[in-house]
Amino acid sequence: MTRFVLGSASSGRLRVLRQAGIDPLVVVSKVDEDALLASLDPGLPPEAVVASLANSKAVSVAAQLPNDVASDCVVIGCDSMLYRDDRLWGKPGSAEAARKQWLAMAGTTGHLLTGHAMLRISDGVITHADSETASTTVYFGAPTDDELASYIACGEPINVAGAFTLDGLGGWFIERIEGDPSNVIGLSLPLVHLMLRKAGLFIGDLW
């Protein structure tokens, strides 16, 4: 049976897959995201930036797989960032950075971009590689000062792309979205479905 390997420590991505019938093997990549971002061409389109990060993660994970898994598996690497005001916003990393991001984006619109990289591996050899980026438009509400302080104090927005979640406490402050909701959580089911098809895999065999 083909193993499904998720190259991410994201609980949101894992939850999306499990709710969709797939219980993946989780292998966290060893990619230094900050170093990789710094090495990329500053003129690279935002869609290509997240795709590059996702591809590096998938390749890193593929190199870590034991032989029994690498005999027949598909590896998915993902990276999400918010594109707003002509720049990419990743994980704030601190409460103060999260507060500044929210003060800037409250009442505005952004695009949650998730790069997806897929590697099909047979007998330890990569036989198919694909990379795509999905985009979902997010309309942010305007939390009050007290609401924002409480949200930041809970810690959720500090270590998530764009300083918000759709499926957590941040969902209270999202007015609406246009596009795939699973992409905002970090893994687009419709896109991965198409990528699996291109790799010659039947989704029903992975459930």
Q: What are the pLDDT digits (tens) for 98-108?
A: 999 999 999 99
**Tens-digit pLDDT profile for residues 116-166:** 999 999 999 999 999 999 999 999 999 999 999 999 999 999 999 999 999
Q: pTM of the predicted model, to two decimals?
A: 0.95
Lookup: tokens for 14: 């894992």
Q: How many CA atoms lie within 13 A of 1 on its CB side?
A: 10
**Mean per-residue pLDDT for 202-206?**
94
What is the pLDDT at residue 33?
A: 87
Q: What is the mean pLDDT of residues 173-201?
A: 97
**Residues in a beta bridge with 34:** none
Pure H helices in the chain: 11-19, 33-39, 46-64, 67-70, 95-105, 145-153, 181-185, 189-198
Task: Match 């007998």 to its residue by tokens.
Answer: 123
The pLDDT of residue 34: 86
Distance CA 64, CA 60 (A): 7
Label the pairing between strands 72-84 and 109-122: antiparallel
Nearest Cα neighbor of 94 from 170, 169, 155 is 155
Q: Which residues are catalytic?
A: 79
pLDDT(22) > 90: yes
Percentage of residues of the chain with pLDDT beyond 70? 100
CA distance 89 to 103: 14
**Amino acid at the residue 43:** G
Per-residue pLDDT at 56 exceeds 90: yes
Q: What per-residue confidence (pLDDT) applies to 104?
A: 96
For residue 1, what pLDDT band results from cuts at 50, 70 and 90? confident
Q: For position 134, what pLDDT does the model report?
A: 98
